[in-house]
């Protein structure tokens, strides 16, 4: 079985059109109930969420679009639409015995919808992509062999904790709590080192080692 990430630009999709206009707006689907879908809209930088929301309301395919909750740079939106290719991807995946990869299997950003799925094998993946290409531009973004839950993104945080030493975990938490990863930084390596009781060089070595390990474990899934 394979873990596969792919992007698609379905014709007539209101979310895809909005994401083309508002670059870096991210719409993550995290729950579906019959016709309704809940998505988390987020945007880093100037807040354009309400502009994007009002723009989406103008789309003829929108049946219902409600804001469930809202914060400064994030809001939860409930949507119902009747897009021309609304169930096209779902039907192709189901037909080929593919599964969505939780926790966030679908998000729309930068003019495309991005999917994370589990596929039985390479031949099936080829069939899926070829079928989807009949309706839209499609591109595979990532592909990894799925062997067991430990190798999956499902348990990536647990996997990270197991790989980090107790010392690395402690210095990361201390550096974070003291504002070392804020921008601009609220503290220095020397202040953190003095707080922990180690030299600045030892602290730097532990932090870099821990950061590199986390990046190595996560980069293949990004």
pLDDT tens sequence across 59-116: 999 999 999 999 888 999 999 998 877 788 999 999 999 999 877 789 999 999 999 9
4 closest CA partner among 151, 127, 217, 146 = 146
pTM: 0.67
175 closest CA partner among 199, 201, 196 = 196
Sorted by where each starts, the structural domains of the chain and their CATH numbers stand as 2-146 (no CATH), 153-221 (1.10.10)
pLDDT tens, residue by residue, 7-29:
999 878 899 999 999 988 999 99
Residue 182 per-residue DSSP state: S
Find out whether 205 and 214 touch, Cβ atoms under 8 Å. no
């Amino acid at each position: 079985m394979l873990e596969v990430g792919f992007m698609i630009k379905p014709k007539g999709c209101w979310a895809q059109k909005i994401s083309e206009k508002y670059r870096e707006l991210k719409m993550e689907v995290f729950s579906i109930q019959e016709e309704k879908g809940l998505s988390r809209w987020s945007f880093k930088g100037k807040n354009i969420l309400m502009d994007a929301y009002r723009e989406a309301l103008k789309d003829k395919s929108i049946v219902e679009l409600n804001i469930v909750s809202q914060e400064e740079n994030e809001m939860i939106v409930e949507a119902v639409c009747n897009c021309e290719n609304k169930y096209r991807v779902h039907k192709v995946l189901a037909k080929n015995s593919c599964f969505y990869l939780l926790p966030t299997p679908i998000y729309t950003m930068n003019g495309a919808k991005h999917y994370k799925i589990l596929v039985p094998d390479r031949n099936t993946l080829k069939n899926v992509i070829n079928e989807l290409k009949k309706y839209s531009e499609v591109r595979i973004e990532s592909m990894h062999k799925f062997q067991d839950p430990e190798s999956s993104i499902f348990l990536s945080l647990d996997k990270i904790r197991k790989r980090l030493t107790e010392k690395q975990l402690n210095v990361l938490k201390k550096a974070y709590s003291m504002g070392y990863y804020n921008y601009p930084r609220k503290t220095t390596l020397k202040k953190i080192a003095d707080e922990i009781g180690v030299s600045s060089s030892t602290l730097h070595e532990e932090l870099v080692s821990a950061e590199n390990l986390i990046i190595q474990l996560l980069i293949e899934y990004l």
